[in-house]
């Protein structure tokens, strides 16, 4: 299990705490410091059954207002600007979900 975590985010801290409280073993990935590759992000999006624009944080300064719904362009933009990726994402084998 892996959690894409931002320690400055309260939802991300809460999700990490739930894993800790449950005694669940996981790997913490601080994705702002260790951004996913395009291939990793594409894989996680497929696990989530989402398009990149569906998990983009719209209030981030790097949010691309006029970027068409071109999956490859969005993925490249999100890899270059990982703050756009909604958090936290928990990946467990062949499944993933975004904690809300």
Calculate mean pLDDT across residues 54-62: 93
- Three-state DSSP state, 84: helix
What does the alpha-carbon distance between residue 44 and residue 29 come to, in Å, rounded to a whole number? Answer: 14
At which residue do the structure tokens 């490249």 appear? 76
pLDDT at 66 over 80: no
What's the chain's average pLDDT? Answer: 95
Least confident interval from 3-7, 53-57, 68-72: 68-72
Active site (catalytic) residues:
9
The whole-angstrom distance between residue 17's C-alpha and the CA centroid of its chain comes to: 17
pLDDT at 68 over 90: no
Calculate mean pLDDT across residues 18-29: 97
What does the alpha-carbon distance between residue 100 and residue 87 come to, in Å, rounded to a whole number? Answer: 8
What are the start-end ranges of the H helices in 1-100? 10-21, 38-48, 71-80
């Amino acid at each position: 299990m892996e959690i894409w975590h931002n320690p400055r985010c309260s939802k991300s801290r809460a999700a990490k705490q739930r894993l800790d409280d449950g005694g669940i073993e996981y790997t913490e990935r601080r994705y702002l410091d260790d951004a996913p590759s395009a291939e990793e992000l594409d894989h996680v999006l497929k696990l989530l059954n989402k398009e990149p624009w569906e998990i983009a944080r719209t209030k981030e300064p790097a949010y691309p207002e006029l970027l068409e719904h071109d999956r490859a362009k969005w993925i490249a933009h999100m890899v270059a600007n990982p703050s756009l990726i909604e958090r936290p994402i928990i990946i467990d084998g062949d499944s993933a979900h975004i904690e809300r």
